Amino acid sequence: MGQIPLYGIPRDAGPGLGALEFLRVVMASRRGTLVELGIGPIVTAGIIWQLLVGSKIVEIDLSTPSGRRAFAGLQKLTAILFAAVEALAYILGGAYGVLTPTQELLVFTQLFAASVIIILMNDMLEKGWGVGSAVSLFIAAGVAQQIFWELFSPVGPMADGLYYGFFPSLVAAAITLATTGNSTPMMMLVSRPEGYPDLLGFVSMVVLLLLLLLLESSRIMIPVSSARFGGVRSRIPLKLLYVSVIPVILVGALYANVIMLTQALWPRVNPGNSNPFLNWIAMYNYTEHGLIPLPGCLVYYLSRPALSRSQL
């Protein structure tokens, strides 16, 4: 589904919700495809019910099979509702530009149906029809696909004269250097413009991967003693990354929902930034890159700094 484009939207379907681009890896989503919403509805529903049950606002006994079934059913129902809400937020927020009512209905149906399929796949994986956590598996699949594409894609030549993939560009630059003595393509491959895969990115990826593997395999030995058995001492190994990527996913889901809802409601509720109360939450400015948050509002301080490549 990550390769099937949404039917009914124009090729230049607007700038999208640009503030969410850096969260697409965490949300396992892909711009302009059926998996535009990714695992957002699943994670959001999980957050809500974990908070409700954990704080005892809703009494569900998770130690019993019936309680666990009720909890899982409520999570799935809430995820389906959030799939509809997030699909509407994308459409109303102008992620696909100006659409006709027919186009809006088509896009909503596709996004909602694809999200329901993802929810059902998540349910199957959670019941044992797969390996590991369903959410982590979706993210890993998206990351693996992106890495493979950026390393081996033969598409090109691009604007800089090299191929999109790193290894095809490396082979082409090496052949040019060996046959003509021209080292310019090889030098360009070190750091390419426009975000194309380059040597700097490849080395950074390898170093980061090795660092993460080291941290993931690290254990902290915690000494414990038992008074019941005469002060017998032992040590319990605790993973250094015990919480893994769960905090990143939770924060990403909360941030994505804030951005989607504010960008969907702002043009209809506070388009001129004239409401002092709503300005505390969100103020936007129309640009060629979409809605850009203005200083002084909550959304602005939640957004990443807008740095250009030259500033970096």
**Domain harbouring 291, CATH code:** 1.10.3370.10
In DSSP terms, 5 is beta-bridged to 33
Q: Which two tokens stand for residue 127?
A: 């019941």
Q: What angle is formed at CA 65 by the lines to CA 64 and CA 70, rounded to 5 degrees?
A: 100
Q: Please give the share of the chain, as a percent, with pLDDT higher than 70.
A: 89
Residue 224 located in a structural domain: no
Task: Classify residue 86: in a domain, yes or no.
Answer: yes
The rounded distance, in Å, linking the Cα atoms of 264 and 261 is 5
- pLDDT in the model for residue 108: 92
Residue 89: what pLDDT? 83
Local confidence band at 310 (pLDDT 50, 70, 90 cut-offs): very low
In a domain? residue 193: no
181 within domain boundaries: no
pLDDT at 16: 54
Residue 311 has a pLDDT of 41
Mean pLDDT for the stretch of residues 255-272: 80
Residue 159 domain-assigned (yes or no): no
Residue 309: per-residue pLDDT: 41
Residue 227 domain-assigned (yes or no): no
Residue 45 lies in a domain: yes
pLDDT at 112 over 90: yes
Q: What is the pTM of this model?
A: 0.72
Q: Would residue 104 count as lying in a domain?
A: yes
Does residue 111 surpass a pLDDT of 60? yes
Structure tokens given for 199: 């040597």
**Residue 86 confidence (pLDDT) above 70:** yes
Contact call for residues 53 and 71 (beta carbons, < 8 A): yes
State yes or no: pLDDT of 163 exceeds 80: yes
Number of structural domains, the chain?
Answer: 1
**Residue 245: domain span:** 18-153+240-302
Alpha carbon separation from 311 to 196, 249, 306, 307, 308 (Å, rounded): 17, 28, 10, 6, 5
Residue 155 pLDDT greater than 90, yes or no: no
